[in-house]
Amino acid sequence: MRPDPTAGAGLPGPAIPPGTGVGGRAGRSAGSLAGKAVVVTGAGRGLGAAYARLAAAEGASVVVNDVDIDAAAEVAASIGAVCDDSDIGTWAGAGRVVEACRSAFGRIDGLVNNAAVFRLASPYQQDPDEFRKVVEVNLLGTAYCGLHAIRAMRDQAGGGSIVNVTSGSHAGSAAMAAYGASKGGVASLTYCWAADLAGTAVRVNAVSPNAHTRMADAFERYLGDRAAGQNVGKDPSTNAPAVVYLLSDTAAGISGQVVRIDGDELSLMTHPGVAAPAVRIPAWTVAAVASAFESDLAHRQQPLGVHPTNA
């Protein structure tokens, strides 16, 4: 299935063979990613392009994947990368982009799961096909690429690093149920894979970026004043150093984390947890639950959206 190119996704068609039009430069010897081979999905523009450019500048050999093959080719040509337009929204397509990296460079050391589509709608107007499309690309595409990459990294010396891309919208944001649900799933994938791979040489983290992109423009247009101009003036490139760090060996002890970048702020997102203290009684009845809410829990309801904590 082919995602909407207007959302900046990286997805369909057969891979462009390495060396066709744009070729990767392997064996770069300078920078924090020197000698590493990295795939960035959705890298034809915006955040994905910023990640690919800095990864290449830091020494990585890069596969630039995007549904818009012209945009992907332009980015790839500018950094000496391999261009790929595999459909990461399918199991076979996700396998092709991972194999394109291994074919070009002999291995895959890093995967940045950036490809996504974006739709805004109220629950009264949400189109079910659009909802399915968002989940298939954003969540299943991330899962498929990650599963292929994990299996390849497990079987090679040195392991590897996966960086998923989630969003603060999964904590609750108006008109973003489909997108937020898909990105909440990406956060859960990150936690679960990190638990699965604990003690191995494969690490899994995620970033929650903030930038002024076409998605931000659509959000501003849809919500108007309610959008609060939250990403105005935030260049996509400001998010790239955190991604490159997580791909690098310097981050060898970091796994299972969601790193939030917001302009001049760098922070960790808290994992889902239990708001203490719990209310305890020997046996719960409907009346007892109602009493617990009336006397305590109703006054401690958790806020929607992203909020600072002391964790």
Is the Cβ–Cβ distance between 65 and 97 less than 8 Å?
A: yes
CB count, 10 Å around CB of 212?
Answer: 17
Tell me whether residue 57 is in a domain.
yes
Is the Cβ–Cβ distance between 180 and 186 less than 8 Å?
A: no
10 pLDDT more than 70: no
pLDDT digits (tens, 9 = 90+) for 267-308: 999 998 899 999 999 999 999 999 999 999 999 998 888 877
Tell me whether residue 16 is in a domain.
yes
Predicted local confidence at residue 53, as pLDDT: 98
Predicted local confidence at residue 96, as pLDDT: 97
Tell me whether residue 299 is in a domain.
no
What's the whole-number mean pLDDT along residues 17-33? 56
Q: Which of 89, 86, 112, 114 is nearest to 99 (CA)?
A: 86
55 versus 2: which is more confidently predicted?
A: 55
What's the whole-number mean pLDDT along residues 118-136? 88
Share of the chain above pLDDT 90, in %: 68
Edge-to-edge strands, sheet with 110-113: 82-84, 61-65, 37-41, 110-113, 160-165, 202-208, 258-262, 265-268
189 pLDDT more than 90: yes
Predicted local confidence at residue 16, as pLDDT: 40
Predicted local confidence at residue 160, as pLDDT: 98
Tell me whether residue 305 is in a domain.
no
Q: Taking all residues of the chain, what is their mean pLDDT, rounded to a whole number?
A: 86
178 pLDDT more than 60: yes
19 pLDDT more than 80: no
Is the Cβ–Cβ distance between 161 and 109 less than 8 Å?
A: yes
Tell me whether residue 301 is in a domain.
no
What's the whole-number mean pLDDT along residues 25-30? 58
Is the Cβ–Cβ distance between 7 and 81 less than 8 Å?
A: no
Contacts of residue 63, Cβ cutoff 8 Å, sequence gap at least 6:
24, 37, 38, 39, 40, 81, 82, 83, 84, 97, 100, 101, 104
Is the Cβ–Cβ distance between 219 and 229 less than 8 Å?
A: no
pLDDT band at residue 234 under the 50/70/90 scheme: confident
Predicted local confidence at residue 233, as pLDDT: 66
List residues with catalytic annotation: 179
The residues facing 41 across adjacent strands are 65
What's the whole-number mean pLDDT along residues 246-250? 98
Predicted local confidence at residue 309, as pLDDT: 76
Tell me whether residue 20 is in a domain.
yes
What CATH number does residue 53 fall under? 3.40.50.720
Q: Supply 256's token pair.
A: 């299972």
pLDDT band at residue 2 under the 50/70/90 scheme: very low
Predicted local confidence at residue 207, as pLDDT: 96
| The total number of structural domains that make up the chain | 1
- Segments forming the whole domain that contains residue 192: 5-268
257 versus 214: which is more confidently predicted?
A: 257
Positive or negative, the CA dihedral 236, 131, 15, 190 is positive
pLDDT band at residue 179 under the 50/70/90 scheme: confident
Tell me whether residue 59 is in a domain.
yes
Q: Supply 171's token pair.
A: 């904590």
Is the Cβ–Cβ distance between 243 and 266 less than 8 Å?
A: no
Predicted local confidence at residue 30, as pLDDT: 82
Grouping H, G, I as helix, E, B as strand and the rest as coil, residue 38 is strand
Tell me whether residue 279 is in a domain.
no
